[in-house]
């Protein structure tokens, strides 16, 4: 999040007026269409409640939005190499990209890999796989059959689609049940698409889709539920998405979404202490252990911190090393730094890796 954006109200006025001064400095993602645009786009303007403002085209892509073919927002904010390959990906999101395809286009795969990591935090091939799975997950969430979702994601074989979804979500798409107590839904954010799992009353999981531990977490949730896991939207999803929108808009949100915590007494105590860390501040594992009256339990606190499966609301990103280093974060250190930047948290320079 490199640019500091004004309020959404001001940006929406700029969108309506097509103010040139924001061209390339701010972008709008339209949640009703999944498209993102420059603020000067000549297309019909979306409703205010369907707008999500982001500070770069890369952030829009990470959030799951596709570039508008009319205003071509990828002309701004990206290196030409990255922009050209993203355009190729969006033109054919179901294509099975390989390094040999990049070589055939005259690109050095290692150069492409570094450029994408620098601007988007993931490689081109990782982004291509993510887009295909997102297409399938969105189709399932929209009520498509497994076969329909497979065709939407352009998988030639049912077994290939099941394998991809199983690797990504920890279970085959055929296991999704519309009548399941727990329902999973993707939620776009400026830092990438998240998965929210809710029942009728509480949020059980909120994680970034590319978190490596996500598959195991979803599998455990599905196994713990008597009727498995579904892929549809509940009112709790609307509530958490509304609160996340406010949070990423820079508001000091007091999250009201009810939580279901899957952990033992010690883990729950750690998570409660995480929720007590004020916005704009950080704590070390040792400080949390001392606050719990367990000054020698820093490693156990670190383990409980890593087991947290409700990102942002239980702010494990506010925990740093004793030397001030950011330390690990399941959603990626680039996101951890971005979240702390959003919260205006002072950060020491020592030990902070580049995103």
Q: Which residues contact 133 (CB under 8 A, 6 or more apart)?
A: 153, 164, 165, 168, 209
Full-prediction pTM beyond 0.85? no
CA distances from 355 to 19, 114, 116, 179 (A): 31, 12, 11, 41
pLDDT class of 109 with cuts at 50, 70, 90: very high
Give dist(CA 80, CA 86) in Å, integer: 10
- The residue behind tokens 């999981």 is 205
Assess whether pLDDT exceeds 80 at residue 3: no
Assess whether pLDDT exceeds 90 at residue 228: no
- Average confidence (pLDDT) over 93-114: 90
Give dist(CA 169, CA 175) in Å, integer: 11
pLDDT class of 1 with cuts at 50, 70, 90: very low
DSSP string, 69-133: TTT-GGGSSS-HHHHHHHHHHHHSTT----HHHHHHTT--HHHHHHHHHHHHSS-HHHHHHHHHH
More confident residue, 181 or 330: 181
- Is 37 annotated for ligand binding? yes
More confident residue, 56 or 224: 224
Cα 273–Cα 279–Cα 284 angle in degrees, nearest 5: 50
Catalytic residues: 37, 316
- Is 60 annotated for ligand binding? no
Assess whether pLDDT exceeds 80 at residue 148: no
- Is 71 annotated for ligand binding? yes
| Coil vs helix vs strand at 330 | coil
- Average confidence (pLDDT) over 112-127: 83
Q: Which of 67-81, 104-118, 135-149 has the highest mean pLDDT?
A: 104-118
CA distances from 177 to 59, 133, 159, 222, 235 (A): 32, 18, 19, 11, 18
170: exposed, middle or buried (Cβ count in 10 Å: 0-12, 13-18, 19+): buried
Domains of the chain: 8-125 (3.40.10.10), 265-342 (1.10.10.10)
What average pLDDT does the chain have? 82
Give dist(CA 92, CA 75) in Å, integer: 19
């Amino acid at each position: 999040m490199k640019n500091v954006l004004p309020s959404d109200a001001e940006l929406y006025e700029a969108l309506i007026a097509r103010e040139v001064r924001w061209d390339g400095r701010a972008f709008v993602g339209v949640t009703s269409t999944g498209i993102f645009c420059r603020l000067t786009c000549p297309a019909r303007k979306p409703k205010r409640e369907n707008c999500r403002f982001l500070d770069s085209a890369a952030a829009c892509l990470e959030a799951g939005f596709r570039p508008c073919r009319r205003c071509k927002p990828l002309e701004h904010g990206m290196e030409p190499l990255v922009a050209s390959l993203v355009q190729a990906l969006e033109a054919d999101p179901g294509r099975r990209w390989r390094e040999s395809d990049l070589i055939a286009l005259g690109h050095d795969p290692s150069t492409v890999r570094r450029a994408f990591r620098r601007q988007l935090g993931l490689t081109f091939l990782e982004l291509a796989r993510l887009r295909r799975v997102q297409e399938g997950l969105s189709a399932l969430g929209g009520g498509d059959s497994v076969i329909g979702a497979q065709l939407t994601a352009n998988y030639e074989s049912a077994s290939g689609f099941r394998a991809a979804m199983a690797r990504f979500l920890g279970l085959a798409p055929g296991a999704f049940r519309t009548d399941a107590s727990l329902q999973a839904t993707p939620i776009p954010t400026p830092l990438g698409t998240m998965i929210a799992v809710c029942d009728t009353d509480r949020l059980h999981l909120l994680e970034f889709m590319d978190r490596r531990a996500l598959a195991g977490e979803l599998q455990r949730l599905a196994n713990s539920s008597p009727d498995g896991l579904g892929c549809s939207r509940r009112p709790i999803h609307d509530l958490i998405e509304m609160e996340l929108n406010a949070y990423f808009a820079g508001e000091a949100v007091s999250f009201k979404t009810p939580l279901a915590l899957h952990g033992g007494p010690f883990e729950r105590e750690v998570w409660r202490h995480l929720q007590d860390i004020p916005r704009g501040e950080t704590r070390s594992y040792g400080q949390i252990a001392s606050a719990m009256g367990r000054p020698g339990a820093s490693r156990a606190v670190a383990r409980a911190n890593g087991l947290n499966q409700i990102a942002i609301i239980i702010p494990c990103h506010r925990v740093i090393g004793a030397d001030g280093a950011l330390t690990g974060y399941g959603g990626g250190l680039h996101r951890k730094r971005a979240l702390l930047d959003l919260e205006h948290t002072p950060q020491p320079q020592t030990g902070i890796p580049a995103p």
